[in-house]
Structure 1
Amino acid sequence: MRVQNLTFDDWLEHSFGREVRFQQAPWYFDPEHDWWDPPPIEAVSHLTRLFEDPEPALRGFADGQIAQGLTYLVNTSASGDSRWLCSTDVPVKDRVRCVKSVAALFAKLFEPRCTPALSHLSEADVGTLNCVCYMWWDAFPSLAIAGDPNLPILHDCALRTMERILYLNSIACQESALHGLGHWQRHYDEKVPQIVDRFCEAHSRADPRLLAYAQSARCGCVL
């Protein structure tokens, strides 16, 4: 059933308050599940508010529920691309603010809660939120479509946001940003190497496995 006109608190409960099933598909794959289908401007507003200040919003939800809820909301492999962020009905300043707010989500949620493990190596001690963190930019909705005059602004904002995340004190967050940059290298083959080179120069004593992954991202060789 299509769900609209949810308050912010009701939306949080709808998205994050579900049971995390053991060895079963999540609720959003059920044939008759409810799905949130608001106007794009409302969706961007709720997402921005959550990303900018996730701690009070997500207090009371377990990491598994948070991972499941974020996957439902922003992973296009879970519920498709709802085209909220690429909607030209939303003022570009609000779309830019939403993209920028992802850095706050990483700093306030993923940095303190993700384990210091590398997901691309399938390490055994990867935490519940690490996979969502790692796949964030790989599965994130489209920011703009061809013909949108604001596409360069939004893409530049995303690249700058990934670069900010690179400087968090979290190997999981750094890996996520490199993963995203690796996928963007195809279209930004000058900017991405520059971002990666700055990171490697500033973090020459980082984990050698992370630095090796950075070199893969630099040339777009990530999965």
Structure 2
Amino acid sequence: MVSDYAGWRRWVFDHPVAGEGERAWYFAGGEMAFDPEADAENALLWVTRLFDEANLLPDDFSMAQIGQGLWFLIDPSGSSHMFALTNPAIPFARRAKGIASIAALYQGLFDPKCSRATGGRKLHGICAAFWSVAPFAPMGREAAPTEQDQAFLAVLEKIAVLENPVCRKSVLEALDFWKGAYPERTQAIRARITG
């Protein structure tokens, strides 16, 4: 079992990369080395640190390993790590740091590395699909926003100004999902991208 950040980070990323048509390591079955539902506090702490330090990942892992590991973390079919960011049992101040760290993931890794040429298919894919697969949904509406929604919208505002077209496409997809609850706010963010 994983008991510290360094071990958890290796467990997430240090695996052979599944080839086309092959299943990733986390679908192979067997016991997982860490249960983010049983230890949501550490899941939140470690995901936050990982996203804040995402620019360091290429020092230790290949782009394909990074992409595969991020798919594992972000897509609920791989793991339930992302639910820690919205877990009401954890004080919002701590969750807000985790939500804010998504912007660091985009700024430190996705913006400079996310292209088919440099980042590979897996990294490009999770960058493009982040908001489509992550289990984040608006909980309030424009007239009665929640703190959590405000934090997610602030992240979208920060990453909307990035130059990488894959990052911008990812934000536009998120805005399509959030516009029903926050039409004015999402339109203002969209205007930053589309002009």
TM-score between the two structures when normalised by the length of structure 2: 0.85
Cα 1:30–1:107 change in 2 (3 A) is same
Tell me the amino acid that sits aligned with residue 191 of structure 2: D
Give the aligned partner of residue 161 of structure 2: 167
Offset at residue 35 of structure 1 (A): 4.8
Determine whether 1:73 maps to 2:68.
no
Q: Deviations over 1:77-104 (max 9, x none)?
A: 3335763122223221111111111111
- Asked if 2 retains the 8 angstrom alpha-carbon contact of 1:16 and 1:61, the reply is yes
Count of residue pairs the alignment pairs up: 187
| C-alpha RMSD of matched pairs (Å) | 2.5
2-structure distance, mates of 1:99, 1:199: 21
State percent identity of aligned pairs: 27
Residue in structure 2 matched with residue 27 of structure 1 by the alignment: 25
Looking at structure 2, the residues matched to 141 and 176 of structure 1 have their Cα atoms a distance apart, in angstroms, of 15
Deviates more, 1:27-36 or 1:101-110: 27-36
Is 1:193 equivalent to 2:187 in the alignment? yes
CA deviations on 1:40-98 (whole Å, 9 max, x unpaired) are 11111101111111233552201111111111112123335763122223221111111
Q: 1:99 to 1:65 in 2, by over 3 A?
A: same
Quote the residue 1:180 is aligned against: 174
| Misfit runs of 4+, over 6 Å | 143-146
Equivalent position SS for 2:186: helix
The question of whether the paired residues in 2 share the 8 Å contact of 1:86 and 1:145 is answered with no
Partner of 2:62 in structure 1?
Answer: 62
Contact persistence 2:86–2:148 (CA under 8 A): no
CA gap 1:103/1:30 in 2 versus in 1, 3 angstroms: same
Which has the larger Rg? 1
Structure-1-length-normalised TM-score: 0.75
Unaligned runs of 5+ in 2: none
Gaps of 5+ in 1: 118-124, 202-223
Matches within 5 A, 1:124-163: 127-142=121-136, 152-163=146-157
Distance in 2 (alpha carbons) for counterparts of 1:113 and 1:198: 22
Q: Does 1:108 align with 2:108?
A: yes
Q: Is the 8 A contact 2:114 2:166 kept in 1?
A: yes
